[in-house]
Amino acid sequence: MYRRSRLREAFNASRATNHLVARFGAVPVLFSGVDELFHTDPPPDFSRARIARVAVERGIESARDGLIEHALTYRIDDDQTAIGDRVRVPLGRGNKPAEGVVIRVGGIELLDGLDPRKVKAIVARTGSRLPASLIALAEWMAVYYVCPLGMVLATMMPAAVKKGVGLKTTTLLQRADAPPELPEGSTKAFRSAWARLLAADTAAFPADPRTLAATLELSPAAIKKLTAAGLLIATTKRTLTSTAPQESASGPVAPRPTLTTEQHAAVEGVCADLGRFHVHLLRGVTGSGKTEVYLRVIEAAMARGKTAIVLVPEIALTPQTSRRFLDRFGPGRVAVLHSGLTASQRHGQWAACATGAVRVVVGARSAIFAPLPDLGLIVVDEEHDSSYKQDQLPRYHARDVAVKRGHLEGLPVLLGSATPSLESWANARVNKAGIGKYRLWTLATRATGAPMPPVEIVDLAMERRVRAAQAGPGDRHLHLVGPTLERALGDTLDAGGQAILLLNRRGYANYLCCPDPKCGYLMHCRDCDATMIYHLADSARGLSAGGFVRCHHCLAEQLLPRKCPDCGKAINTFGLGTQRVEEELERKFAIPHGLRIGTTLLRVDGDTMRSARDYFDALGRFADGSVRVLLGTQMIAKGLDFPNVRLVGVVHADTALSLPDFRALERTFQLVSQVAGRAGRGKEAGRVIVQTMEPRSPAIVLAAAHDYEKFADQELAIRTRAGLPPVGRMARVVCRDEDHAKAHASAGAIADALQDAINKLPKDSGGVRLKGPMPCPISRVAAQYRVAIEILAQTRGVVQTVLAHARAQGLLKSDQHTAIDVDPVALL
């Protein structure tokens, strides 16, 4: 009975604790803290001992009798240790020190039949504490995402906090109230120091050792001796010395806009739920003023004394959004957690959140764990963005964790996007009774009243025929920018406008191959099932002029081979990448428009943007007009708001369409819609040109028509027929090993365990499908073979039951060979 209750404990901490106390309050177990004393001294009063359950951060979990143990039992020797404390504990036979978090505090009822003589004590508290609400959230995550609890808890606290970066220890000396006797046989010098200290003015205390030595004209050694003799009493204090982050100059604060009718309705609707859990989905076209809705709802929450968390996909990519939060609420009350913070600033911001000094936190994925007290609202901006999913342990989705946190803490969660994920859209659709799980708010028009920009779809195959007819026989250049986009860019530059061009692929060319069809050599990464990507030399990195090739999966690099290794012919480069478009733009526009790489033409991708600072600088140069054309990957598709952008060009809309992933269409629709939304945000009308090889793909046609609802409904119908998420639920297990046979063997064993669990399901569980074991679409990465198993079921409850069963048998464990991904967003 007890073990059964422990499984539930993971779902509901407080209920389970009460349950245990009620059941085991009076178990007669002998208890002694110290082994050696046990036989000589009478047993101490064990009934009042304090016991803690500690989840160790390195993530120890064991399956016992069909249930999961994720915490160890320790004795508490002080009267301060509480739930959420990060502590140091002895681990294993060697008592190796390990860090963990206290998840339960109680009396001997927590011993669970353990021999009390073997229970070790907690060594120390490390000084940081997670709020109890986050412990409950961590327990849910550990179960839902099949991850050891200790690792989830370790994720919740930034490394800078755990390491105590920026903490300074200061010692203060106080004179003893009742001075001890002067030690026998003291030297003359010591007696004189003693007397001088006794005669000193009370106002000199407390003081740090150095100041006191100077004031009393004593040596530091003498101060030390006086402290050792007990005449001086030392206390140590740890203080955080971090400086507040420097926020870049903001310029004039934008006036408070008047809300549109649609914005007003959304604000009122969400505010009506302040104080209770409900999820709201705000679908607003690009430029419709979603951020203003967030700001107003946060204001209302703050007026009630509450705090708020705002999640944004990647903070470095949304400096303009963060800026508006700082402007509205003031720098002291807003913490913007971005990658440019130093470790000690990160620690400082975390501490300011924990004390409640900060009232609004704006940050990327991990900001969902901000330790804010009085949390009253969570906003998830661009909720469809795949960067909310963490691709390492714990493999959580911050949007879904936000919804759970809102549920646990009883507060509204506001999800916003121009192109909501189908998951959220399905939840917001109303059933026959007119009720949706989420409440939907729509902002159908731009806040400025500007029209949505017209989008032209250009068939690349057709454009190439036109180009071939125009070009003389001497033109050997590859044209990635077709005649239509080329003309439009020329017109835009002539008219003094700016342009954004998107190509979601880095590098110069993605195929290196032998020109001889009889040979057919294609350069692959030695360790991955992927082609090598050719990059032009980057002088800053000191690589040779010929360029280099890189694997985008394992990052292996080598110089560009000149000759085919099989037949010796000169090697060819095929395919496209941002560097190649950059080169083409300079070739075509340098003469008439002075477009120059690095000055008026800027490439923004993972290769040129090494830090948040690079990105801020690039955007600054685009904002002041010195950069005319911004060319980049999806980095530039998000959230940018520049009024002079009159042309947006998508160089090749199909980069994601052909990926073997059921979300390929959804991704393409989102990307095209998002980047199109960057155009025509000012007074001048905007124009969008989408080049594609698949001009009839619904993802492209409907994105061009700005018709999200039609796309979402069509796509949902397809997913329904196929039983794919969000209509069905999915979990994926990937087994990795350098040894091909081992990868397949462990996947086979896991598939058997899952099948066994499926066989045990009740009859009414609906169709549950197990796919695999099968090689992943990218079957080898970094010399590891990858074999996948997918579970598909109608509800997440069934997926959870299947996973929990296999886990409790000890047959399903997250480790370096096994990745378990619940609700996966990428299937490569």
Binding site for Zn ion (CB under 5 A): 514, 519, 521, 525, 527-528, 551, 553-554, 556, 564, 566-567
Q: Minimal distance in Å, beta carbon 702 to Zn ion?
A: 36
Contact 325, 362 (CB under 8 A): yes
Q: Minimal distance in Å, beta carbon 558 to Zn ion?
A: 11
Choice between 179 and 565, CB closer to Zn ion = 565
253-262: string of b/e by CB count within 10 Å (b at 16+)? eeeeeebbeb
Q: Which value, to the nearest 10 degrees, does the dihedral of the CA atoms of residues 523, 526, 532, 534 take?
A: -90
Helix (H, G, I), strand (E, B) or coil at 73: strand
Choice between 27 and 555, CB closer to Zn ion = 555
Q: Minimal distance in Å, beta carbon 745 to Zn ion?
A: 24
Choice between 269 and 577, CB closer to Zn ion = 577
Q: Minimal distance in Å, beta carbon 531 to Zn ion?
A: 10
Choice between 556 and 811, CB closer to Zn ion = 556
Q: Minimal distance in Å, beta carbon 568 to Zn ion?
A: 7
Choice between 189 and 567, CB closer to Zn ion = 567
Q: Minimal distance in Å, beta carbon 560 to Zn ion?
A: 15
Contact 549, 558 (CB under 8 A): yes
Q: Minimal distance in Å, beta carbon 575 to Zn ion?
A: 17
Choice between 467 and 553, CB closer to Zn ion = 553
Please report, as a single letter, which amino acid is at residue 62. S
- At 774, give phi and psi (nearest 5°): -150, 150
Q: Minimal distance in Å, beta carbon 559 to Zn ion?
A: 16
CA 393/CA 58 separation, integer angstroms? 11
Q: Minimal distance in Å, beta carbon 514 to Zn ion?
A: 3
Q: Fill in the DSSP letter of residue 117.
A: G
Choice between 561 and 810, CB closer to Zn ion = 561
Q: Which residues contact 760 (CB under 8 A, 6 or more apart)?
A: 805
- At 807, give phi and psi (nearest 5°): -65, -40
Choice between 519 and 664, CB closer to Zn ion = 519
CA 750/CA 787 separation, integer angstroms? 11
Q: Fill in the DSSP letter of residue 356.
A: T
CA 136/CA 83 separation, integer angstroms? 11
Lookup result for tokens 């971005």: 338
CA distances from 596 to 313, 479, 606, 634, 822 (A): 31, 18, 20, 22, 46
Alpha carbon 305 to chain centroid distance? Answer: 28
Contact 288, 261 (CB under 8 A): no
Nearest to 172 by CA among 127, 239, 79, 219: 239
Q: Minimal distance in Å, beta carbon 549 to Zn ion?
A: 11
Q: Fill in the DSSP letter of residue 778.
A: E
CA 102/CA 680 separation, integer angstroms? 54
CA 140/CA 368 separation, integer angstroms? 14
Q: Minimal distance in Å, beta carbon 562 to Zn ion?
A: 12
Choice between 343 and 556, CB closer to Zn ion = 556
Please name the residue ranges forming H helices in 601-739.
612-623, 664-676, 698-704, 708-722
Contact 214, 247 (CB under 8 A): no
Choice between 135 and 564, CB closer to Zn ion = 564
> CB-based burial of residue 666 (10 Å sphere; 0-12 exposed, 13-18 middle, 19+ buried)?
buried
Choice between 519 and 693, CB closer to Zn ion = 519
Choice between 429 and 553, CB closer to Zn ion = 553
Q: Minimal distance in Å, beta carbon 65 to Zn ion?
A: 43
Q: Minimal distance in Å, beta carbon 778 to Zn ion?
A: 10
Choice between 378 and 551, CB closer to Zn ion = 551
Choice between 623 and 782, CB closer to Zn ion = 782
The strand pairing partners of 389, in sequence order, are 397
Rounded to the nearest 5 percent, the helix, strand and coil shares of the chain are: 35, 25, 40
Q: Which long-range contacts (CB under 8 A, 24 or more apart) does 255-258 make?
A: 257/289, 257/292, 257/447
Beta strands in 24-178, from DSSP E residues, in sequence order = 50-56, 62-64, 67-69, 72-76, 85-91, 96-106, 124-129, 167-175
Contact 499, 507 (CB under 8 A): no
Choice between 338 and 535, CB closer to Zn ion = 535
Choice between 552 and 744, CB closer to Zn ion = 552
Transcribe 12-57 into DSSP letters. Answer: -HHHHHHHHHHHHTT------S-TTTTTTSPPP-GGG-EEEEEEET
Choice between 259 and 783, CB closer to Zn ion = 783
Contact 360, 311 (CB under 8 A): no
Q: Which value, to the nearest 10 degrees, does the dihedral of the CA atoms of residues 53, 57, 63, 64 take?
A: -20
Cis peptide before 209 (omega within 30 of 0): no
